[in-house]
Chains A and B, each alone.
Chain A
Amino acid sequence: MKNDYSSLVAKIISDQEAIIGSLAVDLAHNVNGLDWSDGIPAVIGDSKNVISDLVKVYSNLFGQSSVAICKDSIDSVDPDLSGEIIGGV
């Protein structure tokens, strides 16, 4: 499960990177609970809280538009999860 959440985080970051460039990766470094020691993000904290925090960080850019793009990223991996996580953002 830990690996699933890590790949979901990677998917969210990569989708944001396609829109705003490398700043997406820089902003993700501000999120607690992500380990970057291998150069790629690995979830080490409470998975849902980490993803929720990541979405909040991106919502600073375009507001709900950014949240909606994150929701699409989550839906593409696990549609049941987005309501649970985005609902808290």
Chain B
Amino acid sequence: MSPIQGSLRSSLLLVFAILLMFWSSTNFNILGLGSQKMLFFDSYWLILIFGVVAGAYASYSWGSFRSVLGRSILSFTIGLSMQLFGQLTFSFLYWSSNGVVPYPSIPDIGFFGSIPLYSYGALQMAKSAGARRALKSLWGLLISVSIPMVMLALTVGVFIYGKSIDLSNWLMTFLDFGYPIGQAIYVVLAILTYLLSSEWLGGRLRMSVVFIVMGLLTQYLADSTFLYQNINAIWEPGSVSDLMYLVAYFFMSYGLLDFWIKYSLLKNSNIEVKRI
């Protein structure tokens, strides 16, 4: 591991710990910080900087467009950049319009734009981790059909059922349907990546993959919680959905950084081959 990678990892862990303590202080009114939820909301995007920097180096190292793993890492990195764009523009609009952010608006370019990138990244990761091989078994086929069906039923039941189609506001209608369906697609791909490759997946890159999958799962929970809070008009800045976003961004950033570190370790090590 290079000194830059070591510093980046230590800084990422430190910033995550500080932001976690900050969220706890604002939500449980520790040290009189109960009124600072907005400040937390305006600062936790910082964690994304680590993911974008580490992801750019990791993607370049693993072959970028020229390899399956490079394309996967690049896709997740651009996805995180889109989230960063969404977070920053949302904060700007929130402050400049006295707490009323129009929907749809500029931040949705970033938030919705990350969905196809996450989906493509998960698909490429499944390919590199050998998930396709499990599709040859009955168990693999069974979960590949049942998990998408369960997620589709959940998504329709919780977020789509009862929604009307308003063609006069086609963009809002598109996003109302597109957000929950798109999020369900990338989380299904993440779950299938892990389940289909779990029997085979090992080696030094196993934990990097696990961190990315955990990041996608947490982001799905965060997105679903935010949607639920928004539909029921109970969302406020710095609430539990923002804590979940922080954790999701941390897992994703740590996973991308881990890919970069593992690349350096593998490249610089003379792997010993033990003959049986």
Contact = CB atoms under 8 A, between A and B. Distances in A.
Contact of A20 (B62, B197, B201): B62
A17 B69 CA distance: 10
For the complex of A and B, list the 7 residue pairs with the smallest distance between their C-beta atoms, beginning with the closest.
A63-B202, A21-B63, A65-B130, A21-B67, A63-B203, A65-B200, A64-B200
B171 interface: no
Contacts of B276: 88
Interface string A35-59: 0000000000000010011001101
A40 B201 CA distance: 30
Given A59-B203, A65-B201, A69-B130, 9 more contacts: A20-B67, A23-B61, A30-B271, A49-B275, A57-B271, A57-B273, A62-B209, A63-B202, A63-B206
A60 interface: yes
Interface stretch (B45-53, B234-242, B262-270): B262-270
Most buried by B among A26, A52, A63: A63
B21 to A, nearest CB: 36
B273 A63 contact: no
A61 B203 contact: yes
A61 B127 CA distance: 14
Contacts of A21: 61-64, 66-67, 69-70
Interface of B: 61-64, 66-70, 127-130, 133, 197, 199-206, 209, 263, 266-267, 270-271, 273-276
A33 B204 CA distance: 24
A60 B270 contact: no
A26 B271 CA distance: 11
Contacts of B63: 17, 20-23
B129 to A, nearest CB: 5
A53 B274 CA distance: 8
A81 interface: no
Contact of A18 (B67, B203, B275): B67
B62 A23 contact: yes
Nearest to B133: A68
Interface in A1-41: 17-23, 26-27, 30-32
Contact of A60 (B62, B130, B271, B275): B271
Contacts of B263: 23
Contacts of A19: 67-69, 127-128
Contact of B266 (A27, A53, A56, A63): A27
